[in-house]
Structure 1
């Protein structure tokens, strides 16, 4: 990671980090009454990891040392699917999990992944902080999960390619694109005429370098943190999907905490989610210039042909059936008429 990038992160989170240092100094030295682990797949110095550590420090301090939450980023506790299994079994107390992975339990968890649905963040937060997000959280209780009220931002996903610049919709046809392990991602890129396949993100750099894939899609910060700009020359700003991370815990583990600690954890992680959104936006707005300096070339394809392809190919109709009319109506109330 370049010194410039590290300075950018630290500058954006400076106030929070200073507060975190104060929290740590104030934390009592006695053993905690409750000890939790929090897992995530973000790299260690990703802005979201910085904010998660701050949240853990706040919990430790404001609980008077009663609850100690240790943060483990960068898949230290396993991949997303492994950590989800651990949470459900009670072996891992908390996790920040992408919505696409949660959809392996409850399909409606991926409703924010509907392609080309959100045009901007106002629409995203109206949906996810409102009735649609509440419905998703309620559905997850059926699978033994407790979910914090505020979802963490992972950004709009963009398309990168190694040897072919994508300037418009037709340039996507036939491309071998790496996507996460999630049915809606596969469905989306097939509807665009590409050839999608799944791979672990920790294996993706080598796969792109050896031309196993023509390209991949991720939020812009990932291009820096995983150094994809070294093996991907082009980035098309498609904003084809928005992704978020829910903070979850297992119901049985959560029930071990007294009500006052439950309320405190909910409050702190919800507050830090709001700060994380702001800091990630600040970081993302500056990283494009850094990537250009590294040699990456950006384009801005017209989104309309992509949206038309999803309508014409039945993508929206298919996923409306999967998510159900109620959830779909809540989505459309924050976006536009999709079907």
Structure 2
């Protein structure tokens, strides 16, 4: 019995060791994370994604690595969000409007003229309200990591300068699929056309739409000056960009690596905000140099008066006033 027991014990130990090694390899393979977004590599979103990936790799001593797929390589925004929920994509970044059909409460952030400046937006996004909004995603199989940003949206078009609300009437404008954005432009007399960002340049080039609305930094990085003549600094809405992760994949990471991912996501948010702030003036001058005609001080009050009350009323009717009140008080 003794002579047969030792080999068996040795065999079992070897098997357990091999299994442990095998599981370790599988786990490490799972820590090679994919990160998808729709913006060009010149944009601050991609630069912040690179910063995030570098921080995660450094702080985990290379145990967790992040491979970035920019420029819609893994699909449009809706498809990438679906990929995160389904597990084919680990991490993804899209503008807040693309989550409006998934977590309706997030619509509050897209209400026109909600924030007067970036500082107000950051206090809300980084505070209790923002954390609650990210938490709502858990029920959808998503871990909300942090709020990055698209920024304050400004109006461009190829037909005429926009100085006031009246100048928006009749324009065919690409918008996000967010109900607040669509309702606002319909109220202003425009014809809003929701479409993925990846399709925007071609739609402007072919005249499918007259114009669009995005931050100055993205207008430059996406080369929209090549297909748009007029830029009006309307700053009519601020757009956050939730950085999300497949919840099951996040939960599979060791606790200390979960903390690294969240902290790196929040730090990269600040990194991106700083980039956008630094680039704003130089990007605007660049667009002017390319021939864009810029209306620096449009009549924003005429636009606010036309859309603010009605669009907010629509949100309150659907979701109640508590969340909007919390945002207002946090400002």
Which category describes the TM-score, using the shorter chain as reference length? 0.7 to 0.9
Listed as ranges, the matches of 1:149-160 within 5 Å are 150-160=146-156
Structure number with larger C-alpha Rg: 2
1:184 pairs with one of 177, 180, 184: 180
The question of whether the paired residues in 1 share the 8 Å contact of 2:112 and 2:184 is answered with yes
Match of 2:193 in 1: 197
Runs of 4+ in 1 over 4 A off after TM superposition: none
Cα deviation, residue 295, structure 1: 0.3
TM-score calculated relative to the size of structure 1: 0.85
Tell me the CA shift for residue 311 of structure 1. Answer: 4.4
Counterpart Cα distance in 2 of 1:251 and 1:189: 35
Are 2:267 and 1:271 equivalent residues in the alignment? yes
Determine which of 228, 232, 254 is the counterpart of 1:258: 254
Q: Does 1:301 align with 2:298?
A: yes
Task: Give 1:180 shift.
Answer: 1.7
CA–CA separation in structure 1 for the residues paired with 2:200 and 2:74 = 19
Alpha-carbon separation, structure 2, partners of 1:213 and 1:197: 8
Does structure 2 conserve the Cα–Cα contact (< 8 Å) formed by 1:153 and 1:280? no
Aligned to 1:242: 238
CA distance in 2, matches of 1:95, 1:235: 29
Residues 187-246 of structure 1, C-alpha deviation per residue, up to 9 Å, x if partnerless? 111122211112232222222223221211111122212221122111011101111111
Work out which of the residue numbers 285, 289, 301 in structure 2 matches 1:289: 285
Contact persistence 1:111–1:323 (CA under 8 A):
no
User: Relative to 1, partners in 2 of residues 1:248 and 1:33: Cα closer, same or farther, differing over 3 Å?
Assistant: closer
1:33 CA drift (Å):
6.4
Partner residue in 1 for 2:12: none
Residue 55 (structure 1) aligns with: 52
Please list, as runs of the form range in 1=range in 2, the aligned pairs for 1:118-197 lying within 5 A after superposition: 118-148=115-145, 150-197=146-193
Match of 1:113? 110
Gaps of 5+ in 1: 1-30
SS of alignment partner, residue 94 of structure 2: strand
TM-score by length of 2: 0.87
Distance across 1 between alignment mates of 2:102 and 2:253:
25
Q: What is the CA–CA distance in structure 1 between the aligned matches of 2:212 and 2:121, rounded to whole Å? A: 23
**What SS does the aligned partner of 1:45 have?**
coil
Q: Secondary structure at the match of 1:284?
A: helix
Distance 1:231 1:215 in 2: 9
C-alpha distance in 1 between matches for 2:198 and 2:35? 20
Question: Which one of 213, 223, 226 corresponds to residue 217 of structure 1?
Answer: 213
Q: CA deviation at 1:183?
A: 2.1
Contact 1:107–1:322 (8 Å) recurs in 2: no
Q: How does 1:92-111 map to 2 (within 5 A)?
A: 92-111=89-108
